[in-house]
Chains A and B, each alone.
Chain A
Amino acid sequence: MVFLKKVYRYNKALAIGMLFFVLVQLFCFYKGGMVFSPWYNYGMYSEVIKIEPHYEVYHGGYMPVFLRQLSPQREDKMYHTIHQFKSLAMNDSLFENEIMRIFRKLHLPDPKPENFKSSISKTDFRIWYQRYQLNWSRSALDLNKPEDVDNPAPAYWNGNELFTPRGFFSDSNDNPIFFK
């Protein structure tokens, strides 16, 4: 408050602008739901997260042996892209259940569905993903099972480690799969 008073004495418009920013930020913080750029909430893993008995994992058709050599940024590109693709269905429900409703409530013109729904087929995604991955992976990717890119497998937590069913990251003899 002392700071805002100093700003107010110097420049009223600046102080009002800052006060507005603070109030909207505190409002978003208090409500804790929808945000309005640039007013965000910085939760950073604040919700309760328990150990699950099983997780869904993807390998993106990537050779497992290279995974440990990936930088976090590249690992992010590899998995986050797949996770984002898998959550595309949520775009549709967000558009139909929330965006349309809020725009109508505020008497704004109806939003165009194509601006909010991203419709790409699995085949389209797989073709693009392989090409995309080639730009930053260390070796050429030659999938013989393209559906492996975005098909998840369960990984079970046994209290000691996560394990996947035989044949996901390894063949029936437990040797790592190389997608060549």
Chain B
Amino acid sequence: MWMYQMQPHFFNTRFDGTTWLFMQTGIHQWLLDNKAGWVLFDVLFYSMPLLYLLAYKRNIKWIPWVAFVMLVVNWAYAQCYTLYPTNSIEGHVGWLLYPFVLMAVRLKSFYFLMNAMRYFFLFFFASAAIWKLRQGGAFNPEQMSGILLMQHKEYLVSAPENWFTHFIYWLVKHQIVGYCLYLGSMVLELTFIAGFFTKKYDRLLLLLFFAFLVMDYFIMRIPYFEILPLALPLLFSKYSAPEGASSK
């Protein structure tokens, strides 16, 4: 994710009220064909964690302010970046939300915000399963075959002899296998509902999450690794709420 690699030349508008307000600033327009602007944005975006670390080491009282600057920079960067031809903004939601967690000065505030992120991550997956039931994809036996053809059409016609092409055609033609894969992914997503009731299976959920990312990359050729930070709270779930109001 580098602006200077993308070299934005045009943008697409999306159906997002907040984005429309942001677009009124014209920042995304200013970045079009603006090499200095791309480098400036990349430097700002990638230097934020270092700036935060510096504030943490020097004076912890600066943390909320640095995290606020990070919030503004991340928002401007993610909004612009996803208006240009790349993947959707949903995958970058971690960049938009983590600065709120990093604003915490007290350990207990950090604990609660991390747990809130955990619930958000669980919702992220569980809602994807509910959408499949609500929109009807889960009840369409040719769903996966349709998805695979739509997703890989260019690859299939341009590399007809490739092993991956044969593999995809095999899945498309064996609709039951493809449908089971689709239902399997939906069940995997539904499993995340368990996390709302207990933290006991968080390690398992983490493994399922990695399996989902790998399968998404291998079968769908979708690199969805931007959402990896969202899973971080699952690693923290073994800690209980700190007592008192410690500031560090």
Partner of B109 from the list A14, A44, A95 (CB cut-off 8 Å) is A14
- Complex contact A37–B89 (CB within 8 A): yes
Chain A residues with CB below 8 A from B132, complex form: 43-46
Nearest A residue to B95 by beta-carbon distance?
A: A38
Q: Are A50 and B146 also in contact (CB < 8 A) when A42-B124, A111-B24 are? A: yes
Residue count of chain B within 8 Å CB distance of chain A: 75
Q: Which B154-191 residues sit within 8 Å CB-CB of chain A?
A: 154-160, 162, 164, 169, 172-173, 189
Question: Which of B9, B157, B221 meets A155, CB within 8 Å?
Answer: B157
Q: Does A85 contact B (CB under 8 A)?
A: yes
Residues of chain B in range 202-248 having any CB-CB distance to chain A below 8 Å: 217, 221-223, 241
Q: Does B116 contact A (CB under 8 A)?
A: yes
Q: Which of B20, B87, B189 gathers the greatest number of chain A CB atoms within 10 Å?
A: B20
Q: A37-B19, A46-B135, A88-B10 are in contact. Are A68 and B155 (CB under 8 A)?
A: yes
- Indicate if the CB atoms of A49 and B155 lie closer than 8 Å: no
CB <8 Å contact, B147 and A45: yes
Is A49 within 8 A of B15, CB to CB? no
Contact of B56 with A by CB under 8 A:
no
Beyond A48-B136, A91-B13, whether A55 also contacts B149 by CB under 8 A is yes
Other-chain contact of A49, B10, B75, B140, B157 (Cβ < 8 Å) = B140
The answer to whether B112 and A6 have CB atoms under 8 Å apart is yes
Q: Is A51 interfacial (CB 8 A cutoff)?
A: yes
B153 near A57: Cβ-Cβ < 8 Å: yes
Cross-chain contact A34 with B17 (CB below 8 angstroms): yes
A-B contact pairs, 5 of them (CB 8 A): A35-B16, A51-B149, A111-B23, A157-B149, A160-B169
B5 in the interface (beta carbon within 8 A): yes
Partner of B116, one of A18, A95, A115: A18
Residue contact B13 to A95, C-beta cutoff 8 Å = yes
Residues of A within 8 A of B (CB): 3, 6-7, 10-11, 14, 18, 21, 25, 29, 32-38, 40-52, 55, 57-59, 64, 67-68, 71-73, 75-77, 79-81, 83-85, 87-88, 90-91, 94-95, 98-99, 102-103, 111-112, 114-118, 120, 125, 128, 132, 135-136, 155, 157, 159-164, 168-169
Cβ contacts under 8 Å, A48 to chain B? 135-137, 140, 143
Q: How far is the CA of A157 from the CA of B131 in the complex (A)?
A: 28
**How near does chain B come to A102, taking the closest CB pair, in angstroms?**
8
* B205: min CB distance to chain A, Å: 16
Chain A residues near B160 (CB-CB < 8 A): 161
Contact present for B7 and A132 (CB under 8 Å): yes
A33 and B15 form a contact (CB under 8 A)? yes
The 4 closest A-B pairs by CB, nearest first: A49-B146, A46-B131, A72-B221, A84-B85
Known: A29-B127, A120-B10, A160-B173. A72 touches B217 (CB 8 A): yes
Residue of A nearest to B196 (CB): A3
Q: Across the interface, which residues of B come within 8 angstroms of A132, CB to CB?
A: 7, 9
Cβ contact within 8 Å between A115 and B26: yes
A139 → B minimal CB distance (Å): 15
A81 closest partner in B (C-beta): B85
Contact B16 A114 (CB under 8 A): no
